[in-house]
Amino acid sequence: MKSQMFSRLLPLGVITLAALLAGWLIASKPASEPVTAQEKAWLVRVMAVEPGDYAPSLALYGRIDSLWTTRLSAVVEADVITVPQMAGDAVQRDQVLLQLDDQEAQLRLTQATAQLAEAQAQVQTEHIRHQANQAALPREQRLLNLARSAEQRLRKLVSNRVTAQSALDNARQLVQQRAITLTARKQQISEHTTRLAAAQARVTQAEAAQQQTELAVQHCRITAPFNGIISQVSVAPGQRVRPGEVLMQLYDTDAWIVRTPVPERYTAHLRRALAAGDTLVATGRLGEQQIQARLHRLGGEVVVGTGSLEAVFMIQNKPPGLAQGQFITLHLDLPVLHNVVSVPPTALYGSHRLYHLDDEQRLQPVTVERLGEWRPPDQTTTRLLVRSPQLQPGMQLVVTQLPQAIKGLLVRPADG
């Protein structure tokens, strides 16, 4: 019986002993120090704020164009005879570009010349008629006086019954005829001025018709209105053209311009400079050629979808090889700005935010106004010009781009 009780208590004892041994081992284990997570400090480059005076340089991306582009249209209906110039050809002012058949125009000119000669002859005829009327007037007056004298004598003879009544009637009829003739002559003389004016008006009308047909003849010979390059030819020899139909298109090579959008934040500076009469010159390059362009004007409307105004620059040096549609980058030097800060492009986050270091080496945002770019004389890279009342001399600005940059981020200056 004792052996049975022993066999039952033995496993329980082993378990109790094992539990006591495990508790002792755990209690006797050396205590470990708690692990504390350390915040990472991101390595950055910094610069000190140094306000100064800078002339910003604005980078503009534009397209070369001509100030004048014209479409030459037909003025008369005629057949195309020759087209000596083709698209891409450089032409000089008054050079023949296209010849139309002028036979029909020449016939109309001959007819108009004949009508002018006829009108001029009518004016001369009116002068001759007036001179004849003036010469005949006193003679007809004398004839009327004679007829009246004869009537008086016959009236006395009839009253004395010396002659017949029929003779007196004939004399009275003659007096009336002479009076009518004299009145008609006076009317012709008084109407001379009106008839002469009408004849001269016909001369003027005929002269205008002749000049119009002369122009039609001249318009059969299409010439270049300026030195330029033909961009398009729309007709061919033998083709019948009608008034208003486009013949060809060309652009002026003596009036090269650059059209470029200007961000709206710079337009106030440019308008003040233009109003003050300042000359703003931008420079750029096309291959090996240096381009100099003067600001000519600013557009009056914001370009839809861009928030920019169009600026027109007149190219001053006109280097060879320019063509419409070429793209060019211009650098425009703006008037000097005072008390602004120059920073590298990597310092700017978004379009209006910088970061500076506080006393605990943590990032703090600064909202700035972007004023343009500035290129140091001895460097090829550009820097940004910014201004903000929060920027104080000596303030440490972060100039390294951190993708995770946020307010309060711990950083470590590279030089510290």
**DSSP structure class, residue 33:** P
CB half-sphere exposure, 411, CA atoms < 13 A: 28
The token pair that represents 172 in the structure block? 């009275």
Three-class SS of 72-116: EECCCCEEEEECCCCCCCEECCCCEEEEECCHHHHHHHHHHHHHH
Q: What is the mean pLDDT of each run of 10 residues along the chain (416 residues)?
A: 58 69 66 63 91 87 92 93 91 94 92 92 91 89 86 80 78 86 87 90 93 92 93 93 94 92 82 86 87 89 74 88 88 85 92 91 92 77 89 92 90 80
Return the pLDDT at 9. 60
Rounded to the nearest 5 percent, the helix, strand and coil shares of the chain are: 35, 30, 30
Return the pLDDT at 137. 87
Give the list of residues 6+ apart from residue 62 with CB closer than 8 angstroms, or none: 258, 259, 260, 261, 311, 313, 327, 328, 329, 330
| Dihedral sign (CA 354, 357, 358, 362) | positive
Q: At what angle do helices 192-218 and 165-190 cross, to 10 degrees?
A: 40
The token pair that represents 370 in the structure block? 């972007």
Give the list of residues 6+ apart from residue 90 with CB closer than 8 angstroms, or none: 227, 228, 229, 253
Rounded Cα gap, residues 224 and 249, in angstroms = 10
Is residue 51 helix, strand or coil? coil
Return the pLDDT at 14. 66
Which is it for strands 289-303 and 308-315: parallel, antiparallel or unpaired? Answer: antiparallel
Is residue 350 helix, strand or coil? coil
* Sole residue written with tokens 């652009």: 251
* Sole residue written with tokens 């009145």: 183
pTM above 0.95, yes or no: no
Task: Give the DSSP per-residue string, 229-282.
Answer: EEEEE---TT-EE-TT-EEEEEEESSSEEEEEEEEHHHHHHHHHHHHTT---EE
Return the pLDDT at 124. 92
Task: Give the DSSP per-residue string, 185-232.
Answer: HHHHHHTHHHHHHHHHHHHHHHHHHHHHHHHHHHTTEEE-SSSEEEEE
Return the pLDDT at 11. 67
Give the list of residues 6+ apart from residue 81 with CB closer than 8 angstroms, or none: 99, 100, 101, 237
The token pair that represents 130 in the structure block? 């007036």
Rounded Cα gap, residues 173 and 155, in angstroms = 13
241-267 burial: b if 16+ Cβ within 10 Å, else e: beeeeebbbbbbbebbbbebbbeeebb
Judge contact between 343 and 326, C-beta under 8 A.
no
